[in-house]
Amino acid sequence: MALPSFPNPAASARVLIVLSLLFAPWFAPARQSSSQFADIAARAAAARDQQNLPLAIDLYKQAEQVNPSWQEGWWYLGVLQYSSNQYPGAIDAFSHLLQLAPTAVPAMALRGLCEFETGAYDSALRDLDEAVAHGAANEPRNEQIIRFHLALLLAHASRFEDALAQYTALAHLHAEAPDLFVAIGLAGTRSTAFPADISATDRAFYESAGRAGYVFLSGDDEQADRLFTALFAQYPARLGLHFYYGYLLFPHDPSMAGDQFREELALKPTTETQALLALTLIYEGHFSEALEPAQAAYSADPNLHIAQVALGRALAETGDMKRGTELLTGAVQRDPNDLEAHLGLASIYSRTGNREEEARERKACRDLAK
Amino acid sequence: MSARLAAILRSSLRLLSAAIACSACVALMCALFGVGSVSAQQQKALASPTCATCHAGVANSFRSAPMRHAMEPDGANTLLATHPDLTVKLGAYTYTVQTRNGHSTYSVTDGTDTLSLPIHWIFGQHTQTWVLEKDGHFYESLVSYFPRENALATTPGDQRITPHTVEEAMGRRLPIWETRVCFDCHATGVGNRLDVVKITPGLECEHCHTGSQQHMADAARDNFKTLPPSLKHLDAEQISTFCGRCHRTFDTVMRNRWHGPAFVRFQPYRMALSKCFVGNDPRIACTACHNPHQTLNHSAAYYDSKCLACHGEAKTAAAANNLQTAKTCPVAKSNCASCHMPKVELPGGHAQFTDHFIRVVKPGKIYPE
């Protein structure tokens, strides 16, 4: 697929070339420094300085044939090929470098970007995810391009929550761009498509939806609310739009989020929406009302974790302690770090007078909330 | 309830309704002769029952309960009426809250620019914060009134704000959800979308007893089938959840990862940390010590009796109800709360708050979470 116009990859590559000097510590000195190697390396550097990329690439390749353990050479070979849209070659260069220096996070990030361009999305996601986890996005000049591509890949892999977390970081950077809005619109409405893959007709919708989400993530909730309200009026039957706004509202106000989930369910009941509606009602203490959507969600997909937790809590709070305990215990076994399941168990043990178990669950909650 | 008893009650209510109708007629006549005319709205009000029509005792005591006054509208607040000129200088800004003829105005000036806004919504009965409206946006006043100092000071939590303009100095702009949540706990009729025109300041019966308006309307037509859900049968954990919708539960504090003494004011959360809290024991429920329909009891002896319900030496009552008894205190038999529920200074709150985490407090131990 074509590279989205945001942010400009060539410019970013130039930035990365400049930044490569900052990453010099992981360039181990060349073990072999024959006069032949030294000569090629010097000519490669000169060609690079003169922006003669084809010559520089050729010379770095020659130098690596003479001295394959030369880390700096692999780095520049990768960067120069990335800048010249020679992605398979760049991937190969960065892979050599990462074999020699596994902690070379910028190489990992650049390999991820190259893999993205070749359509190797699983590998790209793995590389970019790991690179960001190791601080690749901490450098402000690299942050936008890395986070943007990571977010695209996360949404493509149906990890929409994680994608929106990356877009939140971009919104805080005020990185406004039409492609970014389209991408946010896609992730928000739970589409796995890339911006370049959607039709011109749909693009207008996703751009508007993404702009509303971007404004929300930037912190202007009132303007976002106006934009979403306008979208609901313009696209009354569009699936995923109310879910999207409800999902954004959920951490702030479950009541407002619940209204959006109800609107979505009126258009089309989906398991995830039912489970989230149940969870909003549980947050508000409306356990009886939570029972129906929780049951519907769990019946439709017993493997959906939040449906299991919501049903367990709703059942326990409305009288079926035994079944509630079973479901919540199962949820904790599946994910010991699930705060919601521990909260449900703490409530059950409190209400049944099991002080030791209650204390254990409350401690688990406090530990998770630290 | 037996059918006979229900019939007697219905009959009583009809008699009561008739008596009210008579009273309404008398009032109507008086009004007619006194001022010459009564509007249709006034007639309707006179004929319409209220919760107090049947629940006179509890409705009467609730009038002075703190929750009834969780928010007050402009012109109804005695504190502002008795403190007509409040002022404080904080940094480059001078704040004044001026009350004249029952109307209060909040102003901030830097000496050059001045911003003045009417106070429409007064949050809190003792410590007061005002929610202000400007250009369709809601703001939490950057200064509040604190009774301990009898003065204005920075609103708790807003100490971190460094204003650069009078507008920023006026207040902290509230997100739509925070405004909704503030009003939802301090007023009645908020729902999932705030419309300030539709709310009633303070907590009315309907706030906790959902469906009471419908029940009242139906009861006036002799229909007693639409009763609000009973809260009498909630256990201690459920009561904590219920009260915690506003006073904040253990769950809420955990979900939000709130830490520190600022959250000591969330009693159901603190109570849940207590070793003696267990959800199936009514003696530790919020309502065991606090009657939400009455003013807050400040007598230590009153609360001692609550502690001794579990920790007393006379175990017969507890035993008769199959309730566990607990250790007796080796130090004292009175003033339990003064040691076991210490008061904690609320950061920036200019007040101390009773920590509902009941425990044996070790000297010098930091605030436990």
Instruction: Work out the average pLDDT over B15-42.
Output: 41
Instruction: Work out the average pLDDT over B5-23.
Output: 42
The contacts of residue A230 (CB under 8 Å, 6+ apart) are none
Is the pLDDT assigned to residue A32 strictly greater than 70? Answer: no
**Position B168 in a domain:** yes
Which of A138-152, A217-231, B93-107, B311-325 is predicted least confidently?
B311-325
- Sign of the dihedral through C-alpha A23, A25, A27, A33: positive
Comparing CB atoms, the residue among A253, A258, A359 nearest residue B180 is A253
Distance CA B40, CA A182 (A): 57
- What's the mean pLDDT when you consider all of chain B? 86
Bridge partners, residue B188, by sequence: B200
Co-location of B250 and B213 in the same domain:
no
Pairing type for strands B85-90 and B93-100 reads antiparallel
Is the pLDDT assigned to residue B38 strictly greater than 50? Answer: no
pLDDT for position B349: 94
**Position B189 in a domain:** no
Is the pLDDT assigned to residue B5 strictly greater than 80? Answer: no
Is the pLDDT assigned to residue B19 strictly greater than 50? Answer: no
CA distance A266 to chain B (A): 17
The answer to whether B255 contacts A339, with C-beta atoms less than 8 Å apart, is yes
A321 touches B: beta carbon within 8 Å: no
Domain A269-370 maps to which CATH number in 3.40.1110.10, 3.30.200.20, 3.40.50.720, 1.25.40.10? 1.25.40.10
Which residue in chain A has the smallest CA separation from B239? A285
Mutate to test the interface with A, among B250, B263, B275 (most CBs of A within 10 A): B250
Co-location of B4 and B83 in the same domain:
no
**Position B194 in a domain:** no
Interface confidence (ipTM) of the complex: 0.84
Q: What is the pLDDT of residues B230-269, one digit of tens each?
A: 898 999 999 999 999 999 999 999 999 999 999 999 999 9
Instruction: Work out the average pLDDT over B324-349.
Output: 90
- What is the number of other CB atoms lying within 10 angstroms of the CB of residue B302? 10
Q: What is the pLDDT of residues A48-82, one digit of tens each?
A: 999 999 999 999 999 999 999 999 999 999 999 99
Comparing CB atoms, the residue among A221, A284, A362 nearest residue B245 is A284
Q: How far is CA B75 from CA B78, B155, B314, in A?
A: 8, 22, 51
Note whether A247 and A261 are within 8 A (CB): no
**Full domain range(s) for residue B215:** 58-68+203-229
pLDDT for position A142: 87
Co-location of B37 and B132 in the same domain:
no
Confidence of residue B143 (pLDDT cuts 50, 70, 90): very high
**Position B90 in a domain:** yes
Which of A9-23, A157-171, B47-61, B292-306 is predicted least confidently?
A9-23
**Position B39 in a domain:** yes
> Which strands make up the sheet holding B103-109, listed edge to edge?
B85-90, B93-100, B103-109, B114-118
Which residue in chain B has the smallest CA separation from A216? B175
Co-location of B316 and B330 in the same domain:
yes
- What is the number of other CB atoms lying within 10 angstroms of the CB of residue B346? 17
Which residue in chain B has the smallest CA separation from A255? B192
Confidence of residue B7 (pLDDT cuts 50, 70, 90): very low
Co-location of B97 and B6 in the same domain:
no
Query: Which tokens is B307 given?
Result: 């502690």
Residue ending a domain, among B184, B214, B246, is B184
- Sign of the dihedral through C-alpha A117, A120, A123, A126: positive
Comparing CB atoms, the residue among A253, A343, A351 nearest residue B235 is A351
Distance CA A106, CA A113 (A): 11
pLDDT for position B322: 62
Q: What is the pLDDT of residues B270-301, one digit of tens each?
A: 999 999 999 999 999 999 999 999 999 999 99
Which residue in chain B has the smallest CA separation from A343? B251
Bridge partners, residue B345, by sequence: B352
Q: What is the pLDDT of residues A109-133, one digit of tens each?
A: 999 999 999 999 999 999 999 999 9
Co-location of B174 and B323 in the same domain:
no
Query: B-chain residues within 8 Å CB-CB of A226?
Result: none
Q: What is the pLDDT of residues B81-115, one digit of tens each?
A: 999 999 999 999 999 999 999 899 999 999 999 99
Confidence of residue B41 (pLDDT cuts 50, 70, 90): low
A318 touches B: beta carbon within 8 Å: no
Is the pLDDT assigned to residue B45 strictly greater than 60? Answer: no
Confidence of residue A353 (pLDDT cuts 50, 70, 90): very high
Instruction: Work out the average pLDDT over A27-47.
Output: 80
The contacts of residue A291 (CB under 8 Å, 6+ apart) are A278, A311, A314, A315, A318
Which of A300-314, A317-331, B202-216 is predicted least confidently?
B202-216
Write out the residue limits of the CATH 1.25.40.10 domain(s) in chain A. 1-157, 269-370
Instruction: Work out the average pLDDT over A319-335.
Output: 97
Distance CA B290, CA B297 (A): 8
Chain B: which residues have CB within 8 Å of chain A?
Answer: 137, 175-178, 180-181, 184, 192-193, 235-238, 241-242, 244-245, 249-255, 257, 259, 272-273, 275, 277-281, 369
Confidence of residue B76 (pLDDT cuts 50, 70, 90): confident
Query: Which tokens is B222 given?
Result: 């002799």
The answer to whether A350 contacts B193, with C-beta atoms less than 8 Å apart, is no
Query: B-chain residues within 8 Å CB-CB of A318?
Result: none
Query: A-chain residues within 8 Å CB-CB of B280?
Result: 350-353
A253 touches B: beta carbon within 8 Å: yes
pLDDT for position B17: 43
Confidence of residue B183 (pLDDT cuts 50, 70, 90): very high
Percent of chain A with pLDDT over 70: 91
The answer to whether A353 contacts B278, with C-beta atoms less than 8 Å apart, is yes
Q: How many CB pairs under 8 A join A and B?
A: 85
pLDDT for position A140: 81
Co-location of B307 and B160 in the same domain:
no
- Sign of the dihedral through C-alpha B139, B140, B142, B146: positive
Instruction: Work out the average pLDDT over B325-329.
Output: 83
Distance CA A242, CA A255 (A): 14
pLDDT for position A295: 98
The answer to whether A346 contacts B255, with C-beta atoms less than 8 Å apart, is no
Co-location of B3 and B100 in the same domain:
no
Comparing CB atoms, the residue among A258, A339, A346 nearest residue B192 is A258
pLDDT for position B125: 85
Co-location of B99 and B165 in the same domain:
yes
Co-location of B247 and B177 in the same domain:
no
Is the pLDDT assigned to residue B145 strictly greater than 90? Answer: yes
Pairing type for strands B121-123 and B129-134 reads antiparallel
Query: B-chain residues within 8 Å CB-CB of A356?
Result: none
pLDDT for position B14: 43
Return phi, psi of residue A355, to 5°.
-60, -45
Pairing type for strands B151-154 and B103-109 reads unpaired
DSSP state, residue B110: -
**Position B368 in a domain:** no
A284 touches B: beta carbon within 8 Å: yes
Co-location of B19 and B78 in the same domain:
no
Q: What is the pLDDT of residues A286-318, one digit of tens each?
A: 999 999 999 999 999 999 999 999 999 999 999
A1-157: CATH class: mainly alpha
Is the pLDDT assigned to residue A284 strictly greater than 50? Answer: yes
Mutate to test the interface with B, among A261, A306, A347 (most CBs of B within 10 A): A347
pLDDT for position B220: 87
Looking at the 3D structure of chain B, how many domains does it have? 4
DSSP per-residue string spanning A72-99: HHHHHHHHHHHHTT-HHHHHHHHHHHHH
Confidence of residue B22 (pLDDT cuts 50, 70, 90): very low
Which of A141-145, A235-239, A281-285, B175-179 is predicted least confidently?
A141-145
pLDDT for position B208: 95
Query: A-chain residues within 8 Å CB-CB of B238?
Result: 317, 351
Is the pLDDT assigned to residue A18 strictly greater than 80? Answer: no
Query: B-chain residues within 8 Å CB-CB of A249?
Result: 177
Query: How many CA within 13 A on the CB side of residue B325?
Result: 15
CA distance A289 to chain B (A): 13
pLDDT for position B31: 36
pLDDT for position A174: 86
Co-location of B279 and B341 in the same domain:
yes
Distance CA B85, CA B76 (A): 17
pLDDT for position A89: 97
Comparing CB atoms, the residue among B237, B253, B257 nearest residue A350 is B237
Note whether A134 and A108 are within 8 A (CB): yes
